């Protein structure tokens, strides 16, 4: 479905009824990364999956996509589709950074939080330089060059061995992201603040899910967040890397189902 927001046109899907579960995809993916969750969980929630600006089928804009800007997009989007009640917001990796920004800006619109494969810490100086280099690479050489560089680390070694069709699918998804979208997200992530203080403020039930073999955000990131959060549960998914919702969808969905049932 398509919706016009104030400065771009956004594509999104929704399925199911009941409490809204807004799932925010990671970088540089799109709403289709949530297909196993839409299929496996829409009997218990209204699952809403937008493409962030510059990703999937949403239009791109130029310049940096700060996490605040992307959180503002989600707020405008939810309001436009009539979802003004608190939602469960679940974000994977960059989606998690956006979830922190959303919580800081609109805490009254959050019923519960799911933090998947993410971290509260900001980028190191070295990390920031890498973001700039990658943004330049995307704009000069296209999205395929970035996808090529990211692909070998995005999933668990077991997934590369056992699920070549998933690896191929994720490569195609990355390649589909516009170079402007890739650059905008990288520059926005580079600017993101440390969210450790936000973890202390979150007073809503929170589920932390992380792949045991995550090579991009080591599982210690999740353990550190869990240690600070007031009301949270940590589930480490074995046999999964940075994309546990796709690599081990049954375990991931079971964990989310139990969490939703506990609310």
Q: How far is the CB of 151 from ligand MLT (least distance, A)?
A: 12
Q: Tokens at residue 191, please?
A: 């600017």
Q: How far is the CB of 203 from ligand MLT (least distance, A)?
A: 26
Nearer of residues 94 and 183 to ligand MLT, judged by Cβ: 94
Cα four-point dihedral sign 250, 49, 211, 178: positive
Nearer of residues 117 and 251 to ligand MLT, judged by Cβ: 117
Cβ 11 vs Cβ 80: under 8 Å: no
Which of 10, 21, 22, 27 touches ligand MLT (CB under 6 A)?
27
Alpha-carbon span 239 to 156, nearest angstrom: 7
Nearer of residues 179 and 205 to ligand MLT, judged by Cβ: 179
Q: How far is the CB of 36 from ligand MLT (least distance, A)?
A: 17
Residues 169-198 vs ligand MLT: string with x where CB under 6 A?
--------------------x---------
Nearer of residues 214 and 260 to ligand MLT, judged by Cβ: 214
Q: Is 40 in the site for ligand MLT (CB under 6 A)?
A: no
Cβ 122 vs Cβ 192: under 8 Å: yes
Alpha-carbon span 74 to 204, nearest angstrom: 19
Q: How far is the CB of 26 from ligand MLT (least distance, A)?
A: 3
Which of 33, 38, 87, 94 touches ligand MLT (CB under 6 A)?
94
Q: Is 216 in the site for ligand MLT (CB under 6 A)?
A: yes
HEC assignment per residue over 96-149: HHHHHHHHHHCHHHEEEEEEECCCCCCCCHHHHHHHHHHHHHHHHHCHHHHHHH
Q: List, in sequence order, every residue forming a beta bridge with 208; answer none if it has no partner.
A: 115, 234
Nearer of residues 41 and 185 to ligand MLT, judged by Cβ: 185
Alpha-carbon span 250 to 245, nearest angstrom: 8
Cβ 209 vs Cβ 115: under 8 Å: yes
Q: Is 93 in the site for ligand MLT (CB under 6 A)?
A: yes
Q: How far is the CB of 185 from ligand MLT (least distance, A)?
A: 8
Q: Report the interface residues with ligand MLT, using CB under 6 A.
A: 26-27, 93-94, 189, 216, 242
């Amino acid at each position: 479905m398509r919706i016009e927001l104030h400065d771009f046109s956004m594509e999104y899907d929704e399925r199911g009824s009941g409490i809204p579960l807004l799932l925010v995809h990671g970088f540089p993916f799109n709403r289709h990364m949530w297909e196993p969750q839409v299929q496996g969980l829409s009997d218990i929630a209204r699952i809403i999956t937008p493409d962030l600006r510059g990703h999937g089928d949403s239009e791109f804009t130029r310049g940096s996509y700060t996490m605040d800007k992307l959180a503002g997009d989600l707020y405008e989007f939810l309001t436009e589709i009539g979802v003004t009640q608190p939602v469960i917001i679940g974000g994977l990796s960059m989606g998690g950074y956006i979830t922190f920004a959303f919580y800081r800006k609109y805490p009254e619109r959050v019923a519960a939080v799911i933090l998947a494969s993410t971290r509260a810490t900001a980028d190191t100086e070295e990390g920031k330089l890498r973001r700039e280099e990658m943004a330049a690479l995307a704009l000069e050489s296209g999205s395929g060059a970035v996808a090529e560089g990211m692909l070998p680390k995005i999933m668990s070694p077991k997934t590369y061995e056992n699920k070549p069709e998933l690896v191929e699918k994720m490569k195609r998804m990355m390649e589909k992201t516009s170079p402007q979208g890739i650059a905008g997200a990288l520059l926005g992530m580079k600017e993101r603040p440390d969210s450790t203080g936000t973890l202390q403020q979150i007073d809503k039930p929170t589920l932390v899910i992380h792949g045991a073999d995550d090579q991009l955000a080591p599982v210690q990131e999740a353990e550190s967040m869990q240690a600070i959060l007031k009301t949270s549960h940590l589930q480490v998914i074995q046999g999964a890397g940075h994309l546990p919702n796709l690599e081990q969808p049954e375990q991931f969905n079971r964990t989310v189902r139990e969490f939703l049932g506990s609310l």
